[in-house]
Copies of this chain bind each other. A is one copy, B any other.
Amino acid sequence: MADTSALNALIQGLRRLPGVGVKSASRMAFHLLQHDREGAQMLAQALMQAAGNVKHCALCHTFTEADICDTCQDESRDASKLCVVENPADQSAVERTAAYKGLYFVLMGKISPLDGVGPKDIGLQKLIDRASNGLVQEVILATNFTAEGEATAHVISVALKARGLQVTRLARGVPVGSELEYVDLGTIAHAFVDRR
């Protein structure tokens, strides 16, 4: 594709994005170079900023640039409830329902034996410590209703119940086999009310 190593490096760089093959990467590179060099520079700076500054909240593990995220610092939230989600997109979906005013723990993943992701990789001990702070009275498992999400919920449930904590699961109003971030808000809200 022409004789430009910078162009080839850009195409290779774009292929690091999930779901982007060599054809898509080429089209993206041509588009940026031909029509949107300003966008290319904006994206480059955003990548450097984010890769350098975004870390994990010390309490809930979600992405934040501070030590503690805004949600965890919000004193108006109900500290007796802790909602466990797989990732920030799921957390965002729950937030948009406005059906929940407690706090969160974001696993940043799910247990997946086939991919070698075990309880340690989703911060199970950190979650246990968080749920055992004396304030949390109910842990609501809002992992996805996929096989891996259910397995993750099961492992967490066993570990927390062994420590005497009350553990609930979102009701099956959420369609089985689907991922939270694609579910309509009404369904998620209903599932919150019916949690078991």
Contacts and interface: CB of A to CB of B under 8 A. Distances in A.
Interface of A: 1-7, 9-10, 12-14, 16-19, 23-24, 26-34, 36-37, 39-51, 53-54, 62-66, 69-71, 87-89, 91-92, 108-109, 181
A184 B27 CA distance: 18
Contacts of A17: 14, 28, 31-32, 43
Contacts of A26: 89
A29 B87 CA distance: 12
A43 B17 CA distance: 9
Counting every copy of the chain, the complex holds: 2
A62 to B, nearest CB: 5
Contact of A41 (B19, B51, B66, B88): B51
A44 B44 contact: yes
A1 B88 contact: yes
23 contacts: A1-B92, A2-B62, A2-B63, A3-B64, A4-B50, A6-B65, A10-B47, A13-B46, A14-B43, A16-B32, A16-B39, A17-B31, A19-B24, A19-B27, A23-B181, A30-B63, A30-B87, A30-B89, A32-B50, A33-B63, A41-B48, A43-B44, A44-B48
